Structures are given as structure tokens and as C-alpha cells.
């Protein structure tokens, strides 16, 4: 997979990077600290250059995911990282990918905000001989060879685990036969995580004729939108038995809305809440009882991406799909995890 003329490429890359840095500093006057980590490393042409385009900083999970990437792609580990934050815009991601291509980086890694719309830019990367690795979310492309590997969670299984956690909770409450009214706060429309979690949960829901989904709404994976949508749903529907919230940030907002409406979240309250991600502050709420189950989404994907790149540098084969491990947290097992945090 390694391309020919590697030394020449890196000399060329060094010149391009220097030019890009000078130009960027002249034009924008800044943001280089965040955009381009490891400035001094630019002088070492033996480093493997990795361009990473991150979706944004929409959630606590995303921040942890970014940190895991920045932790591994260091000068000490032999890398020069060019990191770009797309601030929730696909067009910014496409721009970042094109800038990586024109700088002739060794590898591109990115977390695509949505699945559609990547064929052209990925073809450009392929034609430039730059391997592309997908992090977290997937792309829908006509030609699967446009990326070499994907590292991420099994989102469909996450959705299924949420459905099973709800089954268990209703069993504990002795409400298996009761009619159960559910609302779903979904993440970014068209994203692999929202698509997969919805699909997985629906596969369990359709086995229960007494479960009815009142509404599934896009709350963009953010706290503000989660609160806004939950307020609207509470206003619209007199009785909501269950909230399925596709990330912890939306859950934090929804819990505010539930409290403001004078209702109690939790298995012993009015609304059962099932969440995704399992960030520390949400796990505390699992222990305290307002979140009944939190399906983990493992953000520590940086080390897996680095392992894929290391293999490619050593001319070894890499698996196309690489799943990270995850589990469900409930009041029963959450303490042990909190103690490790
Ligand atoms: O794609 C993973 C999802 O994206 C996480 O659940 C969410 O918190 C993030 O923003």
C-alpha cells in the first residue's frame, strides 16, 4: 500500500506545509494552535504526516474522541498531525480533505458528519495515492476501495442494547403488557450513529406490539437542542413513558426539560430514560437513578487508527472494518466503571 518516492514526497510535503503555514498566518492571523498540532515537528521529514478532519465539538464524547486522536499522533510516536475541526459542516470537512491532498500528507483520517456526499473528494485522495481511514462514522460510496479501513462502534448493536435495556426495565416494573409510549431524540440526520441506533432500537421495538413510538426527532447530538425538543414533546404529549436519547448531551438537556415540566426521570419516576455514550457525568446519573441505562460508545479510537497506520507503514494487511468494544451501564455495574474514571 505504501507509495513510491516516499522521501521525495516528504520533502515536497515539508515545502507545502511551510507555505501553507505562512499563508495561513498571513491571511487569518491565527488558529494555528488548534488547527496544526506539533508546529516544531515540521522540520523533521521522517515523521509520518496524518491529516485528521474532526466533525466538530458538539458533545462531551466528541471532545474525548479528539483527545484520543491527539494523544497518539505525537512527534514522540513518529507522527506529525494536522488537525482540523469542521465545526459541524460537511463543506468544511471536504475543504480540509482537499487541503490535506494538496499538502500531500501520508494518510488522511476523518470522521464523516453524514454518510452521503464523499465520492468525489475520496476519489481525489485515491488518485493522489493517499490512503483514507474513517473514524467513528461511515460513508456511503459507490466504490468501497475509496477508503482503506473504518474504525468505530457497532451502532446497530448499540440501538439493540438500548431496546433490550428497556425490555429488562419494564420487566422489573412488571409492565410488559402495559401500553408504553416512547419518544426518541435522534442524533444528526444522515449520520451513521443516528441511523444505526435508530435501526437497532426499532428492531427490538417492533417485537413489542404494546410499545408505540410517538415521535422520533433530530436533536443534533447537542444539549440545547435536546432540551428544546424535549420541552416541545412534553408539551405535545400528555403521557410519555420512555425517552430514548441517542447521546448523553441531548439527555442532559432533556432531563432539564423533564424537571422543568414537574416530572421525575427514572425507573421509579414518570419517564424511563435510556441514553448513549456513557460519559462520566451521565454515569453519575445512572448511579443516582435518573438514567436507567447508558449504552457505551467508546471514544478511544485514536489508538486503533494509529495501529492501522503502523501496520500500513510496515506493509502489513489491515482489516477493512474494525470495531471498538463497548457495554451497557446500569445501576448494577456503574460503580466499578466510575471508580476507574
Ligand atoms: O458518532 C458518535 C456520536 O457522535 C456520539 O454518540 C455523539 O455524542 C457524538 O457527537
Domain regions of the chain by residue span: 6-152+299-325, 155-297
CA–centroid distance, residue 40 to ligand 1 (Å): 32
pLDDT per residue as tens digits for the range 295-314: 999 999 999 999 999 999 99
Q: What is the DSSP string of 2-58?
A: PPS-HHHHHHHHHHHHHHHHHHHHHHH---HHHHS--GGGGG-TTSEEEEEEE--S-
Q: Are 196 and 202 in contact (CB under 8 A)?
A: no
pLDDT per residue as tens digits for the range 21-32: 444 433 333 233
Q: Name the residue of 66, 85, 136 to mutate for ligand 1: max ligand atoms within 8 A of Cβ.
A: 136
Q: What long-range pairs does 265-273 form, CB within 8 A, spacing at least 24?
A: 265/290, 265/291, 266/290, 266/291, 266/292, 267/169, 267/172, 267/173, 267/292, 270/240, 271/240, 271/241, 271/242, 271/243, 272/166, 272/169, 272/170, 272/241, 272/242, 272/243, 273/242, 273/243, 273/245
Longest dimension (CA), the chain: 69
CA–centroid distance, residue 218 to ligand 1 (Å): 13
Closest CA to 84 of 33, 133, 136, 35: 35
- Does 61 sit in the ligand 1 pocket, CB within 6 Å? yes
pLDDT per residue as tens digits for the range 232-243: 999 999 999 999
pLDDT at 44: 75
- Share the mean pLDDT of the chain: 91
CA–centroid distance, residue 21 to ligand 1 (Å): 31
Q: Are 156 and 199 in contact (CB under 8 A)?
A: yes
CA–centroid distance, residue 167 to ligand 1 (Å): 24
**Dist. CA 126–CA 145, nearest whole Å:** 9
Q: Which atom of ligand 1 is nearest to the CA of 192?
A: 1
Cell of 252: 442532559
* 155-297 to CATH, choices 3.90.180.10, 3.60.21.10, 1.20.1300.10, 3.40.50.2300: 3.40.50.2300
- Does 193 sit in the ligand 1 pocket, CB within 6 Å? yes
- Does 247 sit in the ligand 1 pocket, CB within 6 Å? yes
pLDDT band at 271 (very low <50, low <70, confident <90, very high): very high
More confident residue, 240 or 14: 240
- Does 137 sit in the ligand 1 pocket, CB within 6 Å? yes
Closest CA to 181 of 100, 255, 103, 237: 237
pLDDT at 41: 41
Q: Where on the phi/psi map is residue 31: left (φ > 0), alpha (ψ -120 to 50), or beta? A: left
Q: Is the pTM of this model over 0.85?
A: yes
Check whether 43 has a pLDDT greater than 80. no
- From edge to edge, which strands make up the β-sheet containing 211-218? 211-218, 180-186, 242-245, 272-277, 293-296, 328-329
Q: Are 165 and 138 in contact (CB under 8 A)?
A: no
Q: What is the pLDDT averaged over residues 119-143? A: 98
Q: Name the residue of 54, 59, 190, 198 to mutate for ligand 1: max ligand atoms within 8 A of Cβ.
A: 59
**Dist. CA 65–CA 59, nearest whole Å:** 10
Within this chain, domains 6-152+299-325 and 155-297 share the same CATH topology:
yes
pLDDT per residue as tens digits for the range 173-223: 999 999 999 999 999 999 999 999 999 999 999 999 999 999 999 999 999
pLDDT at 12: 52
Q: Name the residue of 69, 93, 188, 297 to mutate for ligand 1: max ligand atoms within 8 A of Cβ.
A: 297
pLDDT at 152: 98
Q: What is the pLDDT averaged over residues 132-159? A: 98
Relative to beta strand 293-296, strand 107-110 is unpaired
- Does 59 sit in the ligand 1 pocket, CB within 6 Å? yes
Q: Name the residue of 161, 196, 221 to mutate for ligand 1: max ligand atoms within 8 A of Cβ.
A: 221
Task: Express as a percent the part of the chain with pLDDT over 90.
Answer: 87
Cell of 213: 413510538
Q: Which residues contact 111 (CB under 8 A, 6 or more apart)?
A: 53, 54, 55, 65, 134, 135, 136, 137
Cell of 258: 423533564
Check whether 322 has a pLDDT greater than 60. yes
CA–centroid distance, residue 170 to ligand 1 (Å): 27
Question: Which residue minimizes the CA distance to atom 1 of ligand 1?
Answer: 193
Cell of 25: 498566518
**Dist. CA 326–CA 298, nearest whole Å:** 6
pLDDT at 341: 86
Cell of 262: 414537574
Q: What is the pLDDT averaged over residues 317-341? A: 96
Q: Are 61 and 297 in contact (CB under 8 A)?
A: yes
Write down the architecture of domain 6-152+299-325 according to CATH: 3-Layer(aba) Sandwich (3.40)
Amino acid at each position: 500500500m505504501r507509495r513510491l518516492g516516499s522521501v521525495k514526497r516528504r520533502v515536497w510535503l515539508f515545502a507545502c506545509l511551510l507555505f501553507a503555514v505562512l499563508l495561513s498566518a498571513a491571511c487569518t492571523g491565527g488558529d494555528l494552535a488548534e488547527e496544526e498540532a506539533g508546529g516544531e515537528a515540521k522540520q523533521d521529514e521522517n515523521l509520518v504526516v496524518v491529516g485528521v478532519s474532526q466533525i466538530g465539538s458538539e458533545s462531551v464524547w466528541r471532545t474525548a474522541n479528539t483527545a484520543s486522536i491527539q494523544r497518539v499522533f505525537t512527534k514522540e510516536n513518529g507522527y506529525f498531525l494536522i488537525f482540523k475541526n469542521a465545526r459541524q459542516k460537511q463543506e468544511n470537512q471536504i475543504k480540509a480533505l482537499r487541503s490535506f491532498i494538496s499538502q500531500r500528507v501520508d494518510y488522511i483520517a476523518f470522521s464523516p458528519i453524514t454518510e452521503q456526499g464523499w465520492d468525489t473528494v475520496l476519489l481525489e485522495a485515491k488518485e493522489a495515492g493517499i490512503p483514507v481511514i474513517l473514524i467513528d462514522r461511515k460513508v456511503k460510496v459507490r466504490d468501497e476501495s475509496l477508503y482503506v479501513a473504518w474504525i468505530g462502534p457497532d451502532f446497530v448493536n448499540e440501538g439493540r442494547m438500548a431496546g433490550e435495556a428497556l425490555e429488562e426495565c419494564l420487566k422489573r416494573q412488571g409492565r410488559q403488557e402495559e401500553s408504553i409510549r416512547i419518544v426518541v431524540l435522534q442524533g444528526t440526520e444522515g449520520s451513521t450513529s443516528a441511523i444505526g441506533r435508530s435501526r437497532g432500537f426499532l428492531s427490538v421495538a417492533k417485537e413489542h406490539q404494546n410499545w408505540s413510538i410517538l415521535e422520533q426527532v433530530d436533536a443534533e447530538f447537542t444539549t440545547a437542542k435536546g432540551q428544546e425538543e424535549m420541552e416541545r414533546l412534553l408539551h405535545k404529549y400528555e403521557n410519555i413513558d420512555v425517552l430514548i436519547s441517542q447521546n448523553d448531551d441531548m439527555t442532559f438537556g432533556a432531563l432539564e426539560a423533564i424537571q422543568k415540566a414537574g416530572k421525575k426521570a427514572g425507573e421509579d419516576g414518570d419517564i424511563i430514560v435510556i441514553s448513549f455514550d456513557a460519559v462520566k457525568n451521565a454515569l453519575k446519573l445512572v448511579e443516582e437513578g435518573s438514567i436507567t441505562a447508558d449504552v457505551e460508545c467508546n471514544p478511544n479510537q485514536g489508538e486503533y487508527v494509529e495501529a492501522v497506520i503502523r501496520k500500513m507503514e510496515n506493509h502489513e494487511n489491515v482489516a477493512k472494518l474494525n470495531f471498538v468494544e463497548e457495554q451497557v451501564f446500569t445501576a448494577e455495574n456503574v460503580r466499578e466503571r466510575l471508580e476507574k474514571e
